[in-house]
Amino acid sequence: MQKFVIEKKDSGQTVIKFLSRLLKEAPSSLLYKQLRKKNIVLNKKKIDGHEKLSEGDEISIFMSDETIEKFTGADSIDTDEYLKAFDRFKDPDIVYEDEHIIVLNKPVGVLSQKSKPGDLSANEWLIGYLLKNGIITAASLSKFMPSVCNRLDRNTGGLLIFGKTLFGSSKMSLGLKERTIHKYYKTIVEGEITKEEKILGFLSKNENLNKVFITKDKTEDSVYIETYYKPVRFNKEKNITELEIELITGKPHQIRAHLASINHPIIGDGKYGKKDDLNNLKHQLLYAYKIVFPKYDDYPEISSKTITKSFDDIFNKFF
């Protein structure tokens, strides 16, 4: 028999969902059978599996240790790619970390998540970081797999949110979906922009070209987008403007394509603008520099917090 005390990170989910994560190799029919037979109980009481868990609840599983180990599938978690990613990228530049999330300064050139099986991304990198520092184990990965919560293009640098726990991932995913988490970027575009503006449109993606297109009117496969920008400074000699961007809706390549659609492409962005011979840039000059979190009654560590990362050393070279 083994007992499992519910931590804050696992609260809010149903018993059956927790069990499915914990005993992932066990069929759901077996779990329900064990619940009916009182071989799995919550706070010493019989349950049907649909009860919501709270922090401090105690689940008792009356099975042998060998059976529980077999059903957890702990031995099946291969951590090689996570440790390989950590060895490749070394110690991450962590701007903020608490029990539930990490905010990483993702370098230009690193994927947020895999685009194909052999990739090593920020996702594997941070899991490797947690493993190396003993924050998680191979066994704990069988219950919950940490992951990034938002995405940045490979060649966009800056702040990336990573969920360490189910609680943190759920909070971040909901905040991003409901747009209560606000994300801000810095960029430099071609031409002069003199006033702040919110631009609207519709975005569709061509998978074959890995490129998006902006239209004023909705098409069959397009989604609505909003991008807000305001000018920071203008270099008359180079005819470039530094902008602060608030990404109101978050779609792939949205900022790059939206600015290009109003004839102000980001410098260095060969996909949506032109090759930048003047500044010899190899990638778009776009960085996620600020995240503003909403008020959380149940998450005081991050409640109403603003996290920033300065990229002035990069941007000042152009002014």
Give residue 218's pLDDT.
Answer: 94
Give me the CATH number covering residue 297.
3.30.2350.10
Farthest CA pair distance, the chain: 79
Task: Mark whether 248 and 262 lie in a shared domain.
Answer: yes
Mean per-residue pLDDT over the chain, rounded = 93
Task: Mark whether 272 and 156 lie in a shared domain.
Answer: no
Say yes or no to pLDDT of 278 above 70: no
Task: Mark whether 217 and 268 lie in a shared domain.
Answer: yes
Task: Mark whether 199 and 303 lie in a shared domain.
Answer: yes
Task: Mark whether 240 and 286 lie in a shared domain.
Answer: yes
Task: Mark whether 145 and 249 lie in a shared domain.
Answer: no
How many other β-carbons are positioned within 10 Å of the β-carbon of residue 92?
A: 21
Say yes or no to pLDDT of 313 above 70: yes
Task: Mark whether 172 and 208 lie in a shared domain.
Answer: no
Of 155, 177, 199, the residue at which a domain comes to its end is 177
Which residues, at least 6 apart from 208, have a Cβ–Cβ distance to it below 8 Å? none
Q: Residue 249: what residue type?
A: T
Look up residue 206 and give its two tokens: 């061509």
Task: Mark whether 310 and 189 lie in a shared domain.
Answer: yes
Say yes or no to pLDDT of 134 above 70: yes
Greatest mean pLDDT among 10-14, 53-57, 236-240 lies in 236-240
pTM: 0.79
Write out pLDDT tens, residues 258-269.
999 999 999 999
Task: Mark whether 163 and 219 lie in a shared domain.
Answer: no
Mean pLDDT of 300-306: 97
Distance CA 189, CA 259 (A): 8
Distance CA 87, CA 282 (A): 25
If one counts the domains in the chain, the total is 3
Give residue 69's pLDDT.
Answer: 78
Of 72, 92, 115, the residue at which a domain comes to its end is 72
Mean pLDDT of 161-175: 93
Percent over 90 (pLDDT), the chain: 78
Confidence grade of residue 16 (pLDDT, cut at 50, 70, 90): very high
Distance CA 190, CA 14 (A): 52
Task: Mark whether 219 and 277 lie in a shared domain.
Answer: yes
Give me the CATH number covering residue 27.
3.10.290.10
Domain, as residue range, for 25 = 2-72
Mean pLDDT of 2-6: 85
Say yes or no to pLDDT of 144 above 70: yes
Sign of the C-alpha dihedral, residues 167, 171, 173, 174? positive
Distance CA 228, CA 251 (A): 14
Say yes or no to pLDDT of 9 above 70: yes
Task: Mark whether 124 and 64 lie in a shared domain.
Answer: no
Mean pLDDT of 291-302: 97
Task: Mark whether 54 and 123 lie in a shared domain.
Answer: no
Say yes or no to pLDDT of 87 above 90: yes
Of 20, 39, 72, the residue at which a domain comes to its end is 72
Say yes or no to pLDDT of 146 above 80: yes
